[in-house]
Structures are given as C-alpha cells and as structure tokens.
C-alpha cells in the first residue's frame, strides 16, 4: 500500500531514499534547508569512495548511468602501508576477478544526479526549506516549516551528523571524540596515480590519496591528531604540499595543493534507537564513523537498500524493528573494525610495531587471507 513519506535532508542518503521510495509507488516530499545541489568545472572538495553494493543500488535507481563519466574515478588497486614498521599491503581488483574495487565520486556530482532523477520520478523536492519542528502521533507525522505544515505517514531523518530531528526527538547517542580532524583537499600529482587508492598510517593519524578521474589528480583525507591538525592549518600551501609529499614516500611524485583545505572534526557516534514510532533515522543521522576506510556513506546506502526491501511490500512496526536491528548490527561491526584499525595503527610501542609490520607482510603474501580481506573491503 502506498504511504506518504516526509524526508528531511537532501544529502546523498536522503535523496537515495526519496528516489527509491518514489519508484516503489510511495508519495515522497523531501525538505532540504540548502540550495539544490550544483557543481562547477573544478573538482569539488568532498568526495566519497563508493563501494560495489552502493553502486549497484545507484545503478538500479538509474542514477549511476546519469553521472558524467569524466567525473567518476574507478580505482583498480589499493595500497596501504605503515610509516613506522614498513609493513605494506597491496590489493588489486583482478585478485578477486573484478574490474575495479570501487569508484571515487564527488559528493555534489552524485547529489545533483540524485536530485535530477528524484525530480523526474515525481518526488516533491523543497530546497531552501528548513524543518523547524515535528509532531508524531499514532497514525501520522506533522512537520513544520516557514511555509506551512506537512502531514505524512512516516518521517525520515536524513539530516546529517548533527540531526536536529534526532535531537528534538530526544534519541540518545553513544559517541566518542577521536581528537582528530580530517583535512580534505584536491591535489595535483606529477606521477600518474595509476588507479591506486593509497593510505599511509603515520603516528599522528592516517593520510589517504584517492584517485580522481584525471590521472594526475587525487583527493586527500589527512586525519591528524588535533594538535598536529592545528600545525597543518598554519602551513602555507607550499609547505603543506611538501609535508604531504614526504608522507607519501614519493609514490605520486611532486604534490601540489590546488584547492582550499577544509577540516572536519572526527567523531564516532551512533544513535541508540533508529526508530521511534513513525520516525526513522538514516545515514549520518544514525551513525558517523572515522573516514579511514571511506565507509560512512556506504553504510548509509546500506540502510536505504535494506529499508527499500521492506517498503516494497506491506510493512509495519515489526518489519521496521527488524530493519533497525539488522542495520545497527552492520553499523556496530563497521565501528568496531574502524576502531581496531585506528588503535592498531595508533599504537607506537616497538614490539607492537614489529608485529604490525610482520602481520601486514604476511597478509600480503598469503593469497586466501588477502582475498578474504579484499572481499570484506568491497562490502
């Protein structure tokens, strides 16, 4: 039976949910307080590594096909190394009979394609419309905006990590602060990136170089302890580029920052409840994780994928509770994995470093172990 969904948040996750629900025949209104997504010629600052399962969902919704090809950066290989122990591991898509391990896409480019497809499918899209309040009763939800009230059957909060809806609903959070900031920027490299996503673990945090469609451009995420992040902020672009190049061990030749640098405080958090009567939390509103494995948005796409399985037929609280349980397990597993990585690589005791280096070298040499790791990274 067709339901009316009100979705707050026009980021990647809210838009994907809106489009998927609309294509199933539900009526959907989406509220976004910002402008409709748009992008220019220059590479956007925020990018995401899109995993296979997320791409499949976006293909089913005919969004992937609508992306400009010159803005998609498929990556065929991954190289991860430990600065201190010289341990290193390399994965190649061919080792698991795949063409690539995923693709790097600019968030705004993906959001713009989602917005366009949602509009075509008949989602009512309200840009520059901030939701300021909500009321949930046993049989309906009401949203308040400056232009009036809206009534629906279900309310989806896809309003990001600070989720005003989650806060207003009083849904408690479990969280810890990583005491790190993630610096993102677009960087030119004199050597081709050859389709490799690279990541080094420094004692002060991991640095990732994500290959863009242009073989001489990468997007970086430098997750640095707060103190180190403040030092990085004070550097000129030239000095920052030199430090970035030193961290890369020369893998990409000369590096030159070609965009502004933006810093995001990094914190792990998840809502203890993702469902309250007719209110559901999706994406970053429900969980945020460390960007070191590029899985935050992928987890959100997983939430949408699982929700769409339920909303495809008649559903009620029982099915939604099952959805909540299943997705919480997926998020907690991801959080635990990120934590193990972060703590494992953050530990600078000499014996631990030795073990870490030996462990990485071992996994790199033992084919079945390596294949298992690649498959889990593919999601």
Q: Please, which residue, 158 or 247, has the CB nearer to ligand FAD?
A: 158
The least distance separating ligand FAD from the CB of residue 351, rounded to whole angstroms, comes to 32
Containing H/E element for 247?
A: helix 237-247
Q: Which of residues 31-50 bind ligand FAD (CB under 6 A)?
A: 31-34, 48-49
Contact 110, 43 (CB under 8 A): no
Q: Please, which residue, 152 or 300, has the CB nearer to ligand FAD?
A: 300
φ, ψ at 300 (rounded to 5°): -65, -40
Does 159 interact with ligand FAD (rule: CB under 6 A)? yes
φ, ψ at 264 (rounded to 5°): -120, 130
- Tokens 């990274």 belong to which residue? 377
Contact 378, 109 (CB under 8 A): no
Q: Side by side, which strands form the sheet with 124-126?
A: 124-126, 27-31, 4-8, 154-157, 279-281, 275-276
Q: Please, which residue, 8 or 252, has the CB nearer to ligand FAD?
A: 8
Does 271 interact with ligand FAD (rule: CB under 6 A)? no
Piece of the chain touching ligand FAD by CB under 6 A; list 6-14, 76-84, 251-259, 268-276: 6-14
DSSP 44: P
Q: Which of residues 63-102 bind ligand FAD (CB under 6 A)?
A: none
Does 302 interact with ligand FAD (rule: CB under 6 A)? no
289-326 per-residue burial string, b: 16 or more CB within 10 A, e: under 16: bbbbbbbbbbbbbbbbbebbebbeeebeeeebeebbee
φ, ψ at 56 (rounded to 5°): -60, -45
Nearest partner of 130 among 165, 161, 90, judged by Cα: 165
Question: Which residue in the set 44, 82, 106, 284 belongs to the binding site for ligand FAD (CB under 6 A)?
Answer: 284
Does 12 interact with ligand FAD (rule: CB under 6 A)? yes
Question: Which residue in the set 101, 110, 131, 187 belongs to the binding site for ligand FAD (CB under 6 A)?
Answer: 131
Q: Please, which residue, 18 or 84, has the CB nearer to ligand FAD?
A: 18
Q: Please, which residue, 12 or 21, has the CB nearer to ligand FAD?
A: 12
Does 211 interact with ligand FAD (rule: CB under 6 A)? no
Three-class DSSP category at 195: coil
Does 110 interact with ligand FAD (rule: CB under 6 A)? no
The least distance separating ligand FAD from the CB of residue 127, rounded to whole angstroms, comes to 9
Residues that bind ligand FAD (CB under 6 A): 8-14, 31-34, 48-49, 107, 130-131, 158-160, 164, 182, 184, 221, 264, 283-284, 291, 294-298, 300
């Amino acid at each position: 039976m067709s339901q009316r969904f009100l979705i707050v948040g026009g980021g990647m996750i809210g838009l994907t949910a809106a489009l998927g629900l609309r294509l199933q025949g539900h009526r959907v209104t989406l509220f976004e307080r910002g402008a409709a997504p748009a992008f220019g010629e220059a590479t956007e600052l925020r990018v995401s590594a899109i995993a296979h399962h997320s791409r499949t969902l976006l293909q089913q919704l005919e969004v992937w096909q609508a992306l400009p090809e010159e803005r998609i950066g498929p990556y065929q290989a991954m190289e991860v190394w430990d600065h201190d122990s010289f341990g290193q591991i390399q994965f190649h898509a061919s080792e698991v009979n795949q063409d690539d391990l995923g693709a790097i896409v600019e968030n705004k480019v993906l959001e713009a394609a989602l917005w366009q497809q949602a509009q075509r499918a008949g989602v009512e899209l309200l840009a520059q419309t901030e939701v300021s309040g909500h009321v949930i009763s046993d049989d309906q939800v009401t949203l308040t905006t400056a232009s009036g009230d809206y009534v629906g059957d279900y309310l989806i909060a896809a309003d990001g990590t600070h989720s005003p809806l989650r806060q207003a609903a009083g849904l408690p959070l479990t969280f810890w602060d990583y005491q790190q900031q993630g610096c993102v920027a677009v960087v030119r490299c004199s050597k081709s990136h050859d389709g490799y996503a690279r990541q080094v673990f420094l004692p002060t945090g991991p640095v990732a170089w994500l290959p863009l469609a242009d073989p001489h451009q990468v997007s970086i995420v430098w997750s640095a302890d707060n103190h180190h992040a403040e030092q990085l902020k004070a550097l000129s672009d030239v000095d920052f580029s030199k430090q970035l190049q030193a961290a890369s061990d020369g893998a990409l030749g000369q590096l030159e920052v070609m965009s502004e640098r933006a810093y995001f405080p990094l914190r792990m958090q998840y809502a203890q409840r993702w469902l309250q009567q007719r209110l559901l939390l999706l994406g970053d509103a429900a969980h945020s994780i460390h960007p070191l494995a590029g899985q935050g948005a992928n987890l959100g796409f997983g939430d949408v994928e699982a929700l769409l399985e339920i909303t495809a037929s008649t559903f009620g609280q029982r099915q939604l509770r099952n959805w909540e349980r299943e997705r919480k397990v997926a998020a907690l597993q991801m959080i635990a994995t990120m934590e193990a990585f972060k703590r494992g690589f953050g530990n600078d005791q000499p014996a631990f470093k030795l073990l870490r280096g030996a462990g990485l070298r071992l996994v790199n040499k033992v084919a079945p172990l390596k294949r298992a790791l690649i498959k889990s990274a593919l999601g």
